[in-house]
Structure 1
Amino acid sequence: MLDPEAVEAFLLIAELQSFTRAAGALNTTQAAISLRLRRLEEVLGQRLLERTPRHVRLTAAGAQFLEPAREFLAAGRRAAEIFTEAPARLSIGITHHLIGPNLSKLLQIVSERETGVTLQLRTAGTRDLLALYDAGDLDAVIILRHDESRRDCEVLMIENFGWFAAQDFALLNGMPLPLAIQPAPCNLRAMALKALGSHDISWREAFVGTGAISVAAAAEAGLAVALLAHKAAPPHLLEVGEKLNLPSLPKRDIVIISNVTGKRATSVLRRLVSKFQTL
């Protein structure tokens, strides 16, 4: 018989490509995760993962076992939840500065596991998300920290920013830098204008839109250069700061503020956060 906890550990390690992050998602230790995996491999008589100091990779047997493992875990959860309480809800806000092409990968970690939790996702600017959280409309928010005014947050990671443009973008000599930028008040807009102003670089608004997705689309269309978080930049855009002699940009903490309670909702939030940190 397969141990559901061991199968879950295998799936998380494979998904997050890290024993450490898998342990964090399951709120346990790396040693416990390793033990679960070893027992699963012993039961199956197959090595499922190759582990090096820098990488975790599926073996051929691991890749073959991946989909049956997902089906096994989902079936077990469906059976266990027949007589449980109504599905829980988890309302999360993520700043639109960090939402890019990897959103589907972030949500996949929930859809693959049928947790019995209804996920509500809201994207907006930091000010709006904090207002919704403080009003009790959101259970957790993931935002960029621009000051130290909030003390109830936990740092998830440090985010880098860059100037991004289409591969064939060219700036004519003497012309102002065309920017794809968000409307005021916006912290990233302020970051861009402060950096350009400190180097006396002339600029113009070529496109104004809300969220990283919209300004990235304008950059992809060749309209302008966009200031984007690395996490939100589409893979086919180029970072052109050095090429165009643009100023370097400060880093920002990505933080989470949460009042999530309940075992299932907390488990989903941990999984999402662990996956978010790898994207």
Structure 2
Amino acid sequence: MKAPLDLDQLQTFLTIADTGSFTRAAEEVNRTQSAVSMQMRRLEERIGKALFEKDGRTNRLTEEGEKLLTYARRLLFLNRETLAAFDDTRLEGTIRIGTPDDYADRFLPEIMARFARSNPRVELTVICEPTPGLVEHIKRGNLDIALVTHNDARGQSEVVRREPLLWVSSANHATHEQEMLPMAFGRPNCIWRRAACDVLDQMGRDYRILFTSFSATVIAAAVLSGLAISVLPECALRTGMRVLGEADGFGALPDCRIGIMRGQTSQPELVDALARHIAESLDNITVPTGEEAGSFDFAALALSRMKRPKPNQIMPGW
């Protein structure tokens, strides 16, 4: 039987993947660069695959390295979760978290389950509002942490996930073929709405905004009933939706960037722990495929993925 993987090697591997540099990773893990290189040689020997390739001065993950990345994060998370379960000095208290309802549907079950298992003495207070409202709550001290749609103009947030922003219609209606496109969007200060309108204007498509709501449930209902088209991140796709692409006459949209905002808090250790759980949970969540996905039309989604950078590539903001 093969020996188990070394968690220290996996931690170093993750640090190199995150920093893109053996030198910076050595500083992060408090080892010499030669020691880090030796760790990676041993890990590659253990896996039997090359994990890194040179790209100028940067070390990028190979295809096998990207494959290991997901497993490494899960193994290290499980290790921390196991140790926390036997820690008599575990965190306790109350933490206030906010998130838009479309992220809550997809991400909160995983986040809350993982965090509760590791920190059973911590009470979570959750509110669901659109990102602009959450930003205001953070500024006013009403929230300790928020999962938001990142916007450079709104304030600093730590981007923890990127997803395609997609045109969506009903799979059972030809709404997208109407000469005057009926649209369902969030409120006027929604950055997805502004991005979609910009692309429609550039395309020269006639449209009218038929529904406006901050509720993801309302927007999804308008789309699924065939009353309107909208834009949603990949995580918000639902059974019965069709993804529209260039073949349907719809131009590419910018990525959706999901970030963490931290408020002023007297319990930074709680916020740090929850932020870590959020980042790790989102890294492990994937969009459903095949039978699990129901009746999605994935042709445009597959095309959009082909055109996007690999996860470990640095992408510019928008």
User: Under TM normalisation by the shorter chain, which class is it?
Assistant: 0.5 to 0.7
2:208 is matched with which residue? 204
Bigger relative contact order (CA 8 A; separation at least 6): 1
TM-score, normalisation: structure 1: 0.65
Instruction: Indicate the residue corresponding to 1:140 in structure 2.
Output: 145
Aligned residue runs from structure 1 range 152-171, under 5 A: 152-171=156-175
Shift of 1:228: 0.5
Unpaired runs of at least 5, structure 2: 1-6, 19-27, 30-35, 40-63, 72-78, 286-318
SS at match of 1:239: strand
Q: Distance in 2 between matches of 1:190 and 1:106?
A: 29
Q: How far apart in 1 are the matches of 2:154 and 2:219?
A: 28
Structure richer in helix, relative to its length: 2
- The structure-2 alpha-carbon separation of the partners of 1:268 and 1:99, relative to structure 1 and needing over 3 Å to count, comes to closer
CA contact (8 A) 2:160 2:282 kept: no
Shift of 1:133: 0.6
Change (3 A) 1:220 1:153: same
Moved over 4 A (4+): 71-75
2:278 to 256, 272, 277: 272
For 1:203, the aligned partner's letter is Y
Distance 2:154 2:220 in 1: 29
1:46 matched residue in structure 2: none
Candidates 92, 108, 117, aligned match of 1:112: 117
Tell me the number of residue pairs that the alignment of Structure 1 and Structure 2 aligns.
233
In structure 1, the gaps of 5 or more residues are 1-8, 14-18, 35-51, 59-68
> Please, what TM-score do these two structures have when normalized by structure 2?
0.58
Q: Confirm or deny: 8 A CA contact 1:99 1:212 kept in the other structure.
A: no
Structure 1 residue aligned with 2:241, among 225, 237, 241?
237
Q: Distance in 1 between the 2:177 and 2:224 partners? A: 21
- In 1, Cα distance between equivalents of 2:273 and 2:107: 21
Q: Percent identity?
A: 21
**Aligned partners of 2:221 and 2:177: how far apart in 1?**
24
Are 2:273 and 1:263 equivalent residues in the alignment? no
CA-to-aligned-CA distance 1:223-269 (integer Å, 9 cap, x gap): 32220112222365331133421121122433322145343442233
Q: Please name the residue that 1:192 is paired with.
A: 196
**Pair 1:167–1:272, CA change in 2 (3 A):** same
Q: Distance in 2 between matches of 1:168 and 1:156?
A: 34
Could you tell me how far apart the structure 1 residues matched to 2:237 and 2:158 are?
24
Question: What is the CA RMSD across the aligned residues, in angstroms?
Answer: 4.1
Question: Structure 1 residues 235, 53: closer, same or farther in 2, change over 3 A?
Answer: farther
The residue matched to 2:118 in structure 1 has which SS?
Answer: coil
1:14-58 deviations in whole A, cap 9, x for unaligned? xxxxx849x99xxx96x9xx9xxxxxxxxxxxxxxxxx6444699
Partners of 1:192 and 1:101 in 2: how far apart?
22
Structure 1 pair 182–72 and aligned structure 2 pair: CA distance change class (3 A): closer
